[in-house]
Amino acid sequence: MLKRIFKYLLAAVIVCYTLFALIYFPSLKREGICQGVLVNVNDSELGIISRDEVMEILKEEGLDPSGRNINDFHCCDIENFMDNISLIEKCEVYKSIKGYAVIDIDCRIPIIKVYDKNNRTYHVDRKGNIIDGIHKALYLPIASGCIDDSIATNDVMAMAKAINEDEFWSSQIEQIHFDEQKHITMVPRVGNHIIEFGEAENIEEKLDKLYTFYLNGMNKIGWNKYSKLNIEFGNKVICTQRK
């Protein structure tokens, strides 16, 4: 009697395990077939590229491994292609034990939008990389004027870093404009004036000087008294009074 009960229990365990394996290990149902693609995008919630956009890119390039034999595609092929997209900083691809292709993507984080001298529009990140293909509206300062790739990846990037790393300036500066001599004019969000900055040098010192003037001067005499504030020279803030 005990042997018979043991046999029934053993049979029940085998049936339960088989059902469990079929549910939780789909690769057993379709051995060697890629069950799909799992995409993880890390971009600080900016949403500059979505899972659907990644899948669309893979399908357009014939790189979607879904339904293919798991051994018929190479992770490095997807990684190499995705790494060439300017808004992607790093892409890692691996095959999971359940038969999925897993794609982890780190995006470049833009800090300024650029309208250059050739009517080209793009973004720049804090490392000076030019980013094409961002179509989502982002709350970022704008750089315009006589800008080429060299200025964008050096002077524009340096100005944008200084602005974005400071809570006050990231809220205050709306636009920076470069003339042919690389002299910068800044347009603030608050105050009916422009800021003549000079070249992109001694950036933090100039911004500190202007902040002190805002704090001790503009707060007392009003933010619309002057049409221009020049902070290019030394420790001075040269003001042009509104006519």
Tell me: pLDDT of 28 over 50.
no
In this structure, are residues 175 and 189 in contact, taking their beta carbons and an 8 Å threshold? no
- C-alpha span between 20 and 24 (Å, rounded): 6
Q: Which residues contact 178 (CB under 8 A, 6 or more apart)?
A: 143, 144, 145, 146, 147, 151, 155, 156, 184
Do 152 and 116 touch, CB atoms closer than 8 A?
yes
- From residue 84, alpha-carbon distances to 61, 145, 179 in Å are 13, 28, 32
What pLDDT was estimated at residue 45? Answer: 67
Domain 28-107 falls in which CATH fold?
Ubiquitin-like (UB roll) (3.10.20)
Q: What is the pLDDT of residues 173-201, one digit of tens each?
A: 999 999 999 999 999 998 889 999 999 99
Mean pLDDT, all residues of the chain:
86
Amino acid at residue number 164: N
Q: Do domains 28-107 and 110-241 have the same CATH topology?
A: no
Comparing CA positions, the residue from 241, 119, 124, 123 lying closest to residue 192 is 241
Q: Which residues are CB-neighbours of 69 under 8 A, at least 6 positions away?
A: 32, 33, 34
Query: What does the alpha-carbon distance between residue 74 and residue 212 come to, in Å, rounded to a whole number?
Result: 57
User: How high is the pLDDT of residue 133?
Assistant: 86
Please indicate, yes or no, whether the overall pTM of this predicted structure exceeds 0.75.
yes
What are the extents of the domains in the chain?
Answer: 28-107, 110-241
Class of CATH domain 110-241: alpha beta
Place of tokens 């059902």: 19
What gap in Å lies between CA 29 and CA 21, rounded to an integer? 9
Token pair belonging to 174: 């709306």
| Of 222 and 22, the one with more pLDDT | 222
